[in-house]
Amino acid sequence: MKEDAVREEIEATINRAGFDPLNPAAIRVVITDSFRRKLGACRRIPAADHEGEETAEYEIRIARRLFEGDHGNRWRDTVRHEVAHAYVFETIGSDVDPHGPEWKDAARRAGANPVARCEDEDLVDASYVLACPNGCFECRAL
């Protein structure tokens, strides 16, 4: 059920943002319990890892905890965030800053909040945050 909702959001995001080079069927969805400090991830799937999925080119992983408790629709923003990464990988490549201007533009088009980190303490497992006051970086640690 969660995977179906994520798939629907991926397709809606691609259509809304005009991310035509992306094919929703080429994106593998994984809901994971393994994330402690992040909410989502997107990676290009190497040909050797396709596991019989001829069309799978990307994998979007979403933290299961986003669907639990009182987090509302925060998972949707995370999905949009990760679809923006897939779009940048597809159109520009992986040699750009992961949360640089190209990604921020794509995230806005996708309807995502164009930030690299979540500030919600209930969602991110960290004891403290080290951050540049100019917004250059942010690091959370246990």
CA 52 → CA 27, 30, 72, distances in Å? 14, 16, 34
Domain boundaries, position 74: 2-115
Domain annotation covers residue 135 = no
Place of tokens 């250059």: 136
Q: Which region among 74-78, 105-109, 126-130 has the lowest average model confidence (pLDDT)?
A: 126-130
Domain annotation covers residue 121 = no
Collapse the DSSP code of 16 into the 3-class scheme (helix H, G, I; strand E, B; otherwise coil) and give the result: helix
Domain annotation covers residue 142 = no
Domain annotation covers residue 141 = no
pTM of the model: 0.79
Instruction: Find out whether 42 and 58 touch, Cβ atoms under 8 Å.
Output: yes
What's the CATH code of the domain at 20?
A: 3.30.2010
Residue 118: band (very low, low, confident or very high) from pLDDT cuts 50, 70, 90: low
How much is the mean pLDDT over the chain? 84
Domain annotation covers residue 132 = no
pLDDT digits (tens, 9 = 90+) for 30-42: 999 998 889 999 9
Half-sphere CA count of 110, side-chain side, radius 13 A: 31
